[in-house]
Amino acid sequence: AQSVTQLDSQVPVFEEAPVELRCNYSSSVSVYLFWYVQYPNQGLQLLLKYLSGSTLVKGINGFEAEFNKSQTSFHLRKPSVHISDTAEYFCAVSGRMDSSYKLIFGSGTRLLVRP
């Protein structure tokens, strides 16, 4: 079984500042990792995913994340945030050999960008 921990429930940051949203996972098997963004009263939109290959993954809207197997982490970063990045961000994991294709979500981190 897998689990995901997002330690920060809310991250306030000023516009144009860099940001890092932390995600740690636990799994007894190899995993796929995802970051999703959710705007108010909307569904989830995929930001980026790590399936294999390079551990540095680039996604949409200038976001990137780095898979660190030894630290079981998949932190999300953006060098300069915009007001429009204010949203809820979810980290998710799926077991590589899990034929059910289930996603296990973290509790979410609210990114609050201030002018």
Partner 1 sequence: GAVVSQHPSWVICKSGTSVKIECRSLDFQATTMFWYRQFPKQSLMLMATSNEGSKATYEQGVEKDKFLINHASLTLSTLTVTSAHPEDSSFYICSARDRSGGSSYEQYFGPGTRLTVT
Give the containing element (helix H, strand E) for 57.
strand 56-58
For the chain, what is the radius of gyration of the CA atoms?
Answer: 14
105 belongs to the binding site for partner 1 (CB under 8 A) = yes
At 60 the three-state DSSP class reads helix
Q: From CA 86, how far away is CA 75, in angstroms rounded?
A: 17
Listed in sequence order, the residues at least 6 apart from 80 whose beta carbon sits closer than 8 Å to its beta carbon are 16, 17, 18, 62
Residue 49 in contact with partner 1, rule: CB under 8 A:
yes
Q: Judged by CB under 8 A, how many residues of this single chain contact partner 1?
A: 23
By the rule CB under 8 A, 22 interacts with partner 1: no
Q: Which of 7, 17, 29, 51 binds partner 1 (CB under 8 A)?
A: 51
Q: Nearer to partner 1 by C-beta: 55 or 80?
A: 55
Of residues 19 and 32, the one with the C-beta less far from partner 1: 32
| Residues near partner 1, by CB under 8 A | 32, 34, 36, 41-46, 49, 51, 90, 94, 100-108, 110
